[in-house]
Amino acid sequence: MKNLELIAISDIYGDILRVKGLISIIGKAESENRIIVIAGDISKGDASEKSVKDSMEMLSEACKYLFYVPGDSDPKDFEINLPNAINLDKKHHIIQNREISIGLIGLGGAPSSSVRTGESLPNLWDESIPVVAEQLSTELKINIEKTMQGRPDYIILITHTPPYGIADRSKPITLREMIVLEDIIEEIKGEPKQEPIEKTKKSTISIRHLGSRIISNFVKYYKPDIHIFGHVHKEGGKTETQEATRFFNVSHLSPLPYRLTGRKFLKLNITKEHINGYFNHVITEKEISFDEFIEKYL
């Protein structure tokens, strides 16, 4: 029996070039044995409707099931109108692939505390409000209880936002990072580097956790086998294991900060006995000239 393959991505913002790069690597030959998961931020205000539609059609043709949740940049009522596309936001679904049974649970959107103050995005929720927190927590509990009744081999949680404290760290850009970025830009433009007149005093960098406490509490109690999420770009490609759950931040396909280092996606190989997961496919093309690289990725 062939393994069931799960490909997970997020934060693609309607960029069809990124999707084409992904499809060129995974191909379509094994589509009947493949699930694709998108953990939110599928579209964006400035992304054309056509690019989003075309991207989703390409992904749907490369898999048997296309599961997704809307992200904070997606409308709350965002839908992919394709026969094999399934919206998991506040829902559950059980699939049977030959001998393997998998239960999937989803939650879209993100906490308002995880974005910049005053930033207007269509799909945020304030988990500091008790009634909101209770409603979201109840939705997750109902869906996992229903899923557990089906006795799947594995339970996979798909959310846009990370759980609090896991692959959710964000910190302001440091002075050193800013200087490196300025050097790169100056080299590209051919401008001479300007030496600083005086040294700047080091400042303490405060690290923020952008994840959801609701999701964190839920995962600690129910311990799904796999938790897939995105949202926090600087933690994209991170994986962590706590107790019985393996966590994957799949936002490494985002345009920033991975234009220079290449973009990755998660691949899970699932059998009745175990799940193997890794981020070892890089979308950036290696065999191109420097000028082509600058043109395509910067």
Residue 206 lies in a domain: no
Of residues 245 and 236, more confidently modeled = 245
Residue 193 lies in a domain: no
Q: What single letter denotes the amino acid at residue 266?
A: L
157, containing H or E segment: strand 154-159
Residue 54 lies in a domain: yes
Residue 170 lies in a domain: no
pLDDT band at 203, cuts 50/70/90? very low
**The two three-digit tokens of residue 246, written as one number:** 């393996």
pLDDT band at 105, cuts 50/70/90? very high
Residue 278 CB neighbours (<10 A): 12
Q: What is the mean pLDDT of residues 149-172?
A: 92
Residue 182 lies in a domain: no
Determine contact, residues 267/278, Cβ cutoff 8 Å: yes
* pLDDT at res. 126: 95
Residue 292 CB neighbours (<10 A): 11
Q: How many domains does the chain have?
A: 1
pLDDT band at 176, cuts 50/70/90? low
Q: Domain range spanning residue 14?
A: 4-164+211-297
Residue 172 lies in a domain: no
Helices (H), 127-210: 130-149, 175-189
Determine contact, residues 121/40, Cβ cutoff 8 Å: no
Residue 43 lies in a domain: yes
Place of tokens 């929720």: 125
Q: What CATH number is associated with residue 105?
A: 3.60.21.10
**The two three-digit tokens of residue 105, written as one number:** 């649970």
Of residues 51 and 298, more confidently modeled = 51
Residue 180 lies in a domain: no
